[in-house]
Amino acid sequence: MIVVGLVLVAVGTVLFHLLSPWWWTPIASNWGYIDDTIVLTFWITGTVFIAVILFMAYCALRYKHRAGVRSEYRPENKNLEWWLTIVTTVGVAGMLIPGLFVWNQFVTVPAEATEIEVMAKQWSWSFRKPGKDGKLGTTNVRLVNADNPFGIDPKDPNGQDDVLVDGDNLHLPLNKPIKVLLRSLDVLHDFYVPQFRAKMDMVPGAVTYFWFTPTRTGTFDILCFELCGVGHHAMRSQVVVEAQTAYDNWLNQQMTFKKALAAVEKRAAENKQLASRKAAADIVATIAAD
């Protein structure tokens, strides 16, 4: 019975893998090496797993209890133990070394990468890109308010031409390496697009980053991948990867920080005017009531 059970588990696992319609969502970034490392790990470990189960099934079949029979008394076998240790070490190194090699690429951001910023708060995403100067303006959480949701320092000239995308999808040009700077206003979040394979937590009080190159046009879901409160599952946006010309068109339509500030000032001036008119009307009303 247990022999059948063990064989069933081994065969069932292999069949499940072969027949499963669920596998990696097709990749849309340069991180194919990550997928390769996973496939390598999968085959090495999968083989060991099946081999262990089948060996146990064999023992269960061959060495089932028989009356009058004794088990072999041989508490140690130095040779065998050393061989198994060495083979295992080689197998582990065979997974670790390629893994570290790819990790080295992951932490080495190419010099030509364009910086963009993704900012998270409960439970929405916003994005910021440098203007023509190629530099993002400095920010400070204490400057965040309804008129300056990113908390950009208005005195920093680099920030004036920053492109702000609040409440819209993120657009990215195809085949250009991107360094994503990550910021959070409140709690931990995590920016992840499954097709890109790369993710990183966003930590309030710090700026984190990762890099990737989009390699396929399309619209992909952005999900928050670090539990961030009751709205966690609904914290969504999308990223549109498109050719350079389409991207440039989109970029030109976006609001810059300078324009946003101007709009705020204009509105403030109007409000002031309105307020003084209202005050005058109030005085008139008061006098009339007397």
Within residues 62-121, the interface with other proteins by CB under 8 A covers: 63-66, 69-77, 80-81, 84-85, 88-89, 92, 95-96, 99-100, 102-104, 106-107, 121
Comparing CB distances to other proteins, the nearer of 9 and 246 is 9
For other proteins, the binding residue among 11, 15, 24, 43 (CB under 8 A) is: 24
For other proteins, the binding residue among 7, 60, 113, 240 (CB under 8 A) is: 60
Q: Distance (Å, rounded) from C-alpha 93 to C-alpha 238?
A: 38
| Residues linked to residue 166 through DSSP beta bridges, in sequence order | 126
For residue 70, the minimal CB distance to other proteins (Å) is 4
23 touches other proteins by CB under 8 A: yes
For other proteins, the binding residue among 201, 215, 247, 264 (CB under 8 A) is: 201
For other proteins, the binding residue among 114, 153, 175, 194 (CB under 8 A) is: 194
- Token pair listed for 48: 């060991």
For residue 168, the minimal CB distance to other proteins (Å) is 18
Tell me which stretch binds other proteins (CB under 8 A): 26-34, 242-250, 262-270, 278-286.
26-34
- Candidates 170, 127, 131, 125; CA nearest to 258 is 131
Q: What is the DSSP letter of 63?
A: T
Backbone angles phi, psi at 183, to 5 degrees: -140, 145
Comparing CB distances to other proteins, the nearer of 161 and 164 is 164
64: left (phi over 0), alpha (psi -120 to 50) or beta: beta
167 touches other proteins by CB under 8 A: no
> Which residues, 244 to 283, sit near other proteins by CB under 8 A?
none
| Residues linked to residue 69 through DSSP beta bridges, in sequence order | none
For other proteins, the binding residue among 114, 156, 204, 246 (CB under 8 A) is: 204
Comparing CB distances to other proteins, the nearer of 113 and 251 is 113
Residue 264: exposed, middle, or buried by beta-carbon count in 10 A (0-12, 13-18, 19+)?
middle
For residue 10, the minimal CB distance to other proteins (Å) is 9
155 touches other proteins by CB under 8 A: no
Query: Could you report how far apart the first and last alpha carbons of the chain are, in Å?
Result: 101
Tell me which stretch binds other proteins (CB under 8 A): 142-150, 165-173, 241-249, 260-268.
142-150
- Candidates 184, 181, 183, 192; CA nearest to 221 is 192
Comparing CB distances to other proteins, the nearer of 15 and 284 is 15
**H helix intervals, 148-187:** 157-160
Tell me which stretch binds other proteins (CB under 8 A): 14-22, 128-136, 170-178, 242-250.
14-22
Q: Distance (Å, rounded) from C-alpha 97 to C-alpha 93?
A: 6
Return the C-alpha torsion angle 216, 109, 183, 200, nearest 10: 70
